[in-house]
Structure 1
Amino acid sequence: MKTVDPLHGVAAFLAVADQQSFTAAAAELGLTRATVSAQVADLEERLGVRLLHRSTRAVRLTPAGQAYRDRLADVPERINAAERAARAEQTAPEGRLRVTAPPDLAQRFLVSWVAEFLASHPGITIELELSNAARRLIEDRFDLAIRGVLAVEPHLVTRALGRSPLISCARPDYLDRRGRPEGPGDLAGHDLLHFSGLRKGRVWTFARADETAEIAIAPRLDLNDGWSLRLAALEGVGICQLPAFIVGEDVRSGRLEALLPGWSAGAVPLHAVYPDNRLIAQRVKAFVAFIARKARAEPDLAGEA
């Protein structure tokens, strides 16, 4: 079935109705008189009604044409307004921004960052979804995703925001009862708290100098939310391994004790991900630049990006 363009002939009709002349309308539109006449005729055929009385000396609107013209009165201005708004997307950061981000990052940093950003950008509104679930940005109509574990898709741009070292830690009184592991292999004798939202397998990996250790774990508690796993560690349930942006403050305050000095458990990267579009909206650019600047200032995200 042939697709019909609902706007075909409308501009020609409006110009003829306003100029009351096919010749003048053609000059206004930069078209030939024959083209304008053909477009109006196509419009009349599609609508099944005559819009103009034509004579050798004048062009007048029929009653149906006048009613049609009246209903289209604000169309040119609405089109102009839409074009102005579209151009403004590239010149001023305003409009709605749809963002998806991990809940634990929001609880530690992102909500306060968003509050500060909104205070300095009154023309922007933000819809923030907190989820660790994979999202298809274009299909789900998100402007931006903030993610640690990254599934690379075509047509997406990624910007590194930082890296957060993984810290193995537990509450000091738990360690007083159960002992402090001296090496990765000693973890087998402990109650382990596993963040399944960070990795699929149940293996903790450690490295120092040229030595590596992969420890298969049987978690006492398995959770897909890092902040909730932190709370379990603070309750003394066992040893967790979480990014510094979740447990860094707890370690510095002494609420949790970092384990296995000299061993590195790696780091979690943090990325901003958005559709690959040369004409990306200014609100997206502004927000990404803002959170990148905030992330660089956070010690727990200051690993090399």
Structure 2
Amino acid sequence: MTVNLKKTIDLISEAQQLQWAMAFTAVVEEGSFTAAAQRMGVSKALLSRQVRQLEQALDAQLLYRTTRRLLLTDAGELYLGHCRDWLLRVQSARQALAELREEVAGRLRLTVPTSFGGVFMAQAMLALRQQYPALEVELDLSARPHDLEAEGFDLAIRANISPPERLVARPLAEVADWLVAAPAYLAGKVLPQVPAELAAHACLCNSHFSHGRQWAFHRDGELASVAVSAPLLANDYNLLRNFALQGAGIARLPSYLVAPDVAAGRLQRLLPQWHGRGQSLYLVYPQRLPQPARVRALVAFLQQWFAAPAQAALLGQA
């Protein structure tokens, strides 16, 4: 009986301290006891007493009180951080429980690299809406790295980047680069057998990359790098593909963009045993606690969809 009574007393004491902690947090956030009392719907005298009781229970002064303002002590700074964390956890728990009953619905805004989005996102988004018909999707295809939070985007697909700390980045897929050229360009020429022989060819380079004329490769642990001649440069993969289709030279392009051309014979793949750096693709989205149900559903869907055999083959992973 004595043990149970002690547990009951301890629980009451902890509940009181939680109430006092909320009062203390309100005072700090409002900057005065008067404003905090109005916010909480209690008297200023009660609020002041609760903060004093909290300080006594903690055996620490949390606030410096002057006639004009309130200042936090070092102990107050430390305790306030924990108070806010408690409140955030309570709010997150409440929202998480609410989202157990939430329908995956609402508007999603995505930003995706232009060429990648043109190949994959129509099929992907139609499949997403078939699974979640209450979703409304807005797609932005752009090479520009948008500020997701400032511009109101829910998610981005980005390549080879280190996202800001406030964003979450989850691996999506690895994209292989292929060397390709049109039969019209290769006619009468000696096909390159090793990367160094690319230096004798007209190569189509991406001017978006600072080292776009330096092509690096690896094969079974062996590394090779070659400075290529680039009579034509462009900062767009689709334009480089069109140059290659017209017989302008050898292009280094993402596999998903040229795999259908290779299969149809419009382009020929070169040095298939040598692998370029390729690209690592990530799902990047703002950090929220918890994530809205629609964003969680989108992330899970995209990871599963891009792991499917059809998409893996286009990405050069099959």
Paired residues of 1:101 and 1:128 also in contact (CA < 8 A) = yes
Number of residue pairs matched by the alignment: 237
Paired residues of 2:106 and 2:135 also in contact (CA < 8 A) = yes
For residue 187 of structure 2, give the secondary structure of its aligned residue in structure 1.
helix
> What residue in structure 2 maps to residue 26 of structure 1?
none
Identity %: 33
> What residue in structure 1 maps to residue 314 of structure 2?
300
> What residue in structure 1 maps to residue 192 of structure 2?
181
Q: Deviations over 1:202-234 (max 9, x none)?
A: 211011234211112332222222122212211
* Partners of 2:182 and 2:100 in 1: CA distance: 50
Indicate yes or no: 2:258 matched with 1:237. Answer: no
Indicate yes or no: 2:200 matched with 1:200. Answer: no
Identify which of 278, 284, 287 aligns with 2:298. Answer: 287
Indicate yes or no: 2:276 matched with 1:265. Answer: yes
Identify which of 99, 106, 114 aligns with 1:95. Answer: 106
- TM-superposed CA distance for 1:87, in Å, is 4.7
Letter matched to residue 210 of structure 2: K
Root-mean-square deviation over aligned CA pairs:
3.3
> What residue in structure 2 maps to residue 161 of structure 1?
172
For residue 106 of structure 1, give the secondary structure of its aligned residue in structure 2.
helix
Paired residues of 2:157 and 2:284 also in contact (CA < 8 A) = yes
Q: How does 1:33-52 map to 2 (within 5 A)?
A: none
Indicate yes or no: 2:286 matched with 1:275. Answer: yes
* Partners of 1:264 and 1:302 in 2: CA distance: 11
Specify every segment of 5 or more residues in structure 2 that has no aligned partner in the other structure, as ranges.
1-28, 47-93
Letter matched to residue 106 of structure 1: G
Greater helix percent: which structure?
2
* Partners of 1:238 and 1:90 in 2: CA distance: 57
Letter matched to residue 135 of structure 2: I
For residue 137 of structure 2, give the secondary structure of its aligned residue in structure 1.
strand
Q: Deviations over 1:159-194 (max 9, x none)?
A: 111112110010122111433112111111211111
- Decide whether aligned partners of structure 1 residues 261 and 116 sit closer, same or farther in structure 2, where only a CA change above 3 A counts: closer
Specify every segment of 5 or more residues in structure 1 that has no aligned partner in the other structure, as ranges.
13-28, 36-82
- Decide whether aligned partners of structure 1 residues 263 and 302 sit closer, same or farther in structure 2, where only a CA change above 3 A counts: closer
For residue 178 of structure 1, give the secondary structure of its aligned residue in structure 2.
coil
> What residue in structure 2 maps to residue 146 of structure 1?
157
* Partners of 1:259 and 1:93 in 2: CA distance: 45
Q: Which moved more, 1:293-302 or 1:255-264?
A: 293-302
* Partners of 1:180 and 1:224 in 2: CA distance: 26
- TM-superposed CA distance for 1:154, in Å, is 0.6
Q: Hey, which bits of structure 1, 4+ residues long, moved more than 4 A?
A: 29-35, 86-90
> What residue in structure 1 maps to residue 141 of structure 2?
130
- Decide whether aligned partners of structure 1 residues 90 and 301 sit closer, same or farther in structure 2, where only a CA change above 3 A counts: farther
For residue 193 of structure 2, give the secondary structure of its aligned residue in structure 1.
coil
Paired residues of 1:244 and 1:300 also in contact (CA < 8 A) = yes
* Partners of 1:222 and 1:293 in 2: CA distance: 36
- TM-superposed CA distance for 1:280, in Å, is 0.9
Letter matched to residue 314 of structure 2: D
Indicate yes or no: 2:116 matched with 1:105. Answer: yes
Q: TM-score scaled to structure 2, two decimals?
A: 0.65
- TM-superposed CA distance for 1:88, in Å, is 5.1
Paired residues of 2:113 and 2:157 also in contact (CA < 8 A) = yes
Paired residues of 2:106 and 2:294 also in contact (CA < 8 A) = yes
